[in-house]
Amino acid sequence: MRNFDQWLSEMRPSINEYNFYVNFEKVYANVDSMKVELNILNSLVGSKDIEQDFREILKRYPETLRCIPTLLAVRQHEIYAQDEEGAFLYDFSRMNYSVEQYIAFMKKTGLLSLIGEHIINNLVDYCLGIETGLDSNARKNRGGHQMERLVEVYLKKAGLEYYKEMYLTQIEQTWGVDLSAISAEGTSTKRWDFVVKTDQRIYLIETNFYSSGGSKLNETSRSYKMIAEEAKSIPDTEFVWITDGGGWKSARRNLHETFDVLEHLYNIADLERGIFNSIFV
């Protein structure tokens, strides 16, 4: 019998990879894609008559407009702005207002002052900083896939036949198995992180990592406990849950209940001990 308290104590606070914090390759690529236009706009740095100089640039190089959203740390090419003079939806992929209106935009957002008063020295370096900040906002998305990548490493090490992100209907169609017991009689469109197929069984695998607590953990634990109980009625099919994270320490009660009924509940330490080499038959 496994000891729940000991198993829970093995949960780790983080699985952040080195590129979790900033994906610099992406940052450099984004800046490189507009480096020519940024260098054209660099001629405005310290300009004595920036409005006129910017007017001339827009007439000769209208493509420089596409850099403007990044200067404001905005991803989309359309920006909405309004004041007492009216409401405008500026398009920076193609000019949809007059040059004078775009000059008004630059002035009212503070960009003309930022550039013309020499507050910054180089727009390329400035955009590198902005792109770094914007990329850090993507950490949540990167974090959501880290556990999947980690589990996949151990699936590969074990030499298993596995499939990623399969829907219930795909599993039923591929191997002719009836999963209605865990699909709410065919109404669920659940997608499994991994599916392992051996000569004797199909293993449905879910993975997640929770660095912090919250109500979602209790809901997840209860949901997976129900799936584990429902899966027992399906011949030659097993449910496997791989989870980790310090957040579980604040939701230990519900996790303990699931631990007691789910045979295949594992953490990263279990993977490191080679559990995949013994559970799949």
Rounded Cα–Cα distance for residues 140 and 152 (Å): 20
pLDDT value at residue 188: 59
Categorize the per-residue pLDDT at 58 as very low, low, confident or very high, splitting at 50, 70 and 90: very high
The neighbouring-strand residues paired with 166 are 192
* One domain for residues 121 and 143: no
Residue finishing a domain among 71, 105, 136: 136
* One domain for residues 41 and 168: no
Rounded Cα–Cα distance for residues 108 and 97 (Å): 15
* One domain for residues 194 and 72: no
Decide if pLDDT at 144 tops 70.
no
Tokens 């295949």 label which residue? 264
Average pLDDT (101-113) is: 97
Query: Tokens for 135?
Result: 């990329």
Q: Identify the residue with better confidence: 138 or 60.
A: 60
- Segment (H or E) for 124: helix 123-136
* One domain for residues 170 and 259: yes
CA 135 to chain centre: 11
* One domain for residues 202 and 128: no
Decide if pLDDT at 276 tops 70.
yes
pTM: 0.73
* Structural domains in the chain (count): 2
Decide if pLDDT at 187 tops 70.
no
* One domain for residues 175 and 56: no
* One domain for residues 116 and 93: yes
Rounded Cα–Cα distance for residues 270 and 252 (Å): 18
Terminal C-alpha separation, the chain: 20
Tokens 């004595």 label which residue? 48
Rounded Cα–Cα distance for residues 139 and 243 (Å): 19
Average pLDDT (80-88) is: 96
Helices and strands per DSSP (H, E), number in the chain: 14, 7
Average pLDDT (16-36) is: 93
Decide if pLDDT at 80 tops 70.
yes
* One domain for residues 11 and 121: no
Question: Do 127 and 71 touch, CB atoms closer than 8 A?
Answer: yes
CATH of the domain at 158: 3.40.1350
In whole numbers, what is the pLDDT of the chain averaged over residues? 92
pLDDT value at residue 184: 58
Q: What's the domain range around 197?
A: 4-17+139-279
User: Could you give the 3-state DSSP secondary structure of residue 49?
Assistant: coil
* One domain for residues 205 and 232: yes
Rounded Cα–Cα distance for residues 223 and 271 (Å): 23
* One domain for residues 156 and 81: no
Rounded Cα–Cα distance for residues 168 and 204 (Å): 10
pLDDT value at residue 145: 83
Decide if pLDDT at 44 tops 70.
yes
Categorize the per-residue pLDDT at 143 as very low, low, confident or very high, splitting at 50, 70 and 90: low
* One domain for residues 8 and 144: yes
